[in-house]
Amino acid sequence: MKIRLNALNNMEKHAFVETIGWVFEHSPWIAETVYAACPFSSVKHLHDAMLEAVRSASPKERLALLRAHPDLAGKLSMSETSVKEQQRAGLTGLTEAEYAEFSSCNEAYVGKFGFPFIMAVRGHNKHSILAAMQARLKGTTEEEYEIAWREVSKIALFRLNDRIEEDTVSCSGKGNANMMIKPNETGRTMYYGKGDVLVYRTFAKPLQAVRRIPESGFIGSDNVIFALNVNIAVQGDAFLPSFTEGDNSLVVATDSMKNLILRHAADYDGCTVEGFLLHISRIFLSKYPQMTTIRMRADRIPFETLPVPGPQGDLIESGLVYRRSHNDHSSAALTVERSGEGIAVTGHQCSVSDLQLIKVKGSSFAGFVRDEYTTLPESHDRPLFIWLNIGWKYGKVEDVISPGEESYVASEQIRDIAHTVFHEQNSPSIQHLIYHIGLRILSRFPQLSEVRFESNNRTWETVVEEISGSEGRVYTEPRPPYGFQGFTMTQADLTEAHAGTAAGEQKGVTA
């Protein structure tokens, strides 16, 4: 039975580990490690965190994890999940000759590489698995070690997707990996698509036409690495027979979708994520008349440039060597539909996700309702740790799909406004903080029609109140559950705020 992601996020640690500790074979320590990073906004967010825990483990622990996997078609003790997976692949009903051949390959593989042959067997049968085993026996230890980890990652993702059902609304983390799909013209929800299409394009067109704002030093991006994680969902009434009759004559394989996206990344001549999504959507609608609506989302995979010594001995940006960042990232989503003889963008959303900010002092929370259920003390100078997703929409869709001079709003600028306002404000609550961040964003970018916030309170718990000779304290991670906030603002809120300020100033003059 599946469990809701929100329910998993709110579990106590022992229940959390019991629920997903088996995802990596006989290695519950991985779930124990990532528990502190709750809540997770998507299965992918959770999967990424678990992989990071594995990457951070010692070489001995990593090798032990590989060795914890059972031989394929073997008779040694294995987890209940592994038994079911091997049953579906036909590995538990082998003939004596087949079993002997598998056993011989398994023994040769372990003898050569020092760990079992590992393969995500979903979608395979005994013949394709044996062929893969025989082929991989010819590889080097280094090659097989990397392949084994890729297969371990696939197995874990399959198991997480089988166990967890994602929630429609997420309030923290990488967020919104799945797109909202509306019913088609018949009122029926019907779509299919491809997720996690990883695109790494180098030397894309630089982003240059960005208007400077006081809160940010961002003036553009060289786009030397234009990396995206793309999701696509397609709709069309012509696909109904594939569901009702098993007729696939109009179905475009999702593997073909992936290949189209990857190949046409080469001919994209723009500089923004939104432009890339429109470029690919146009190709799909032009090539496949049975598709009526394309919904695409892409998370930018951030890479940071690194400093190296320059010719004068000073540090300059390498321009060749970059570091993968696991911090906040930008995202965009477009809905593109047929409209008469052409196409129209009927929906869009831009965002910066997984922004994590800590202000060590200068925040408060007091004056809230106190009754028989209240145990939280008032605080007038607390550290405040927030996880924040910020989304925005443009008033004119043209500004996002073909931005004019300095009309494009970069996620880096939104991020910088958020931390600047956080620095400036002595906030009585997170609600008040995000309201003022929204006012600043709408003020700086009048081309935006809406700003949306999803915030999560992850403020540390105080362990030591005072340290002699220092204003420091000692904190630890907070215990779940966590508070969250959701809020949207429009240009009308900015107008109202300005009117209120003007009225206050006029009242002061009159007084």
- 309 forms beta bridges with 315
Answer yes or no: 60 catalytic: no
Query: Which of 44, 174, 194, 393 does the annotation list as catalytic?
Result: 194
Query: DSSP secondary structure string, 131-195?
Result: HHHHHHTTS-HHHHHHHHHHHHHHHHHHHHHHHEE--S---SSS---SPP----TTS----EEEE
For the chain, how many residues are written? Answer: 511
Query: Which of 13, 112, 205, 436 does the annotation list as catalytic?
Result: 205
Residue 280 per-residue DSSP state? H
Cβ(232)–Cβ(259) below 8 Å? no
Cβ(346)–Cβ(337) below 8 Å? yes
Cα–Cα distance for residue pair 229/392, rounded to 1 Å: 20
Angle CA 226–251–275, to nearest 5 = 25
Cα–Cα distance for residue pair 356/250, rounded to 1 Å: 45
Query: Which of 33, 254, 305, 490 does the annotation list as catalytic?
Result: 254
Cβ(39)–Cβ(46) below 8 Å? no
In angstroms, how far apart are the furthest CA atoms of the chain?
Answer: 99
Phi-psi category of residue 187: left, alpha or beta, with phi > 0 → left and psi -120 to 50 → alpha: left
Rg (CA), the chain: 26
For the chain, counts of helices (H) and of strands (E):
16, 14
Per-position b or e across 236-265, b if 16+ CB within 10 A of its CB? beebeeeeeeeeeeeebeeeebbebbeebb
Neighbours of 47 (CB within 10 A): 21
Query: Which of 44, 45, 47, 69 does the annotation list as catalytic?
Result: 69
Nearest residue to 271 (alpha-carbon basis) of 332, 193, 196: 332
Cβ(129)–Cβ(121) below 8 Å? yes
Burial of 110 (C-beta count, 10 Å sphere; 0-12/13-18/19+): middle
Answer yes or no: 33 catalytic: no
Cα–Cα distance for residue pair 414/408, rounded to 1 Å: 12
Answer yes or no: 194 catalytic: yes
Record the tokens describing residue 100, joined without a space. Answer: 């002997």
The amino acid sitting at 241 is P
Beta strand 379-394 pairing with 293-300: unpaired
Answer yes or no: 329 catalytic: no
Burial of 335 (C-beta count, 10 Å sphere; 0-12/13-18/19+): buried
Record the tokens describing residue 496, joined without a space. Answer: 């109202």
Active site residues: 69, 194, 205, 254
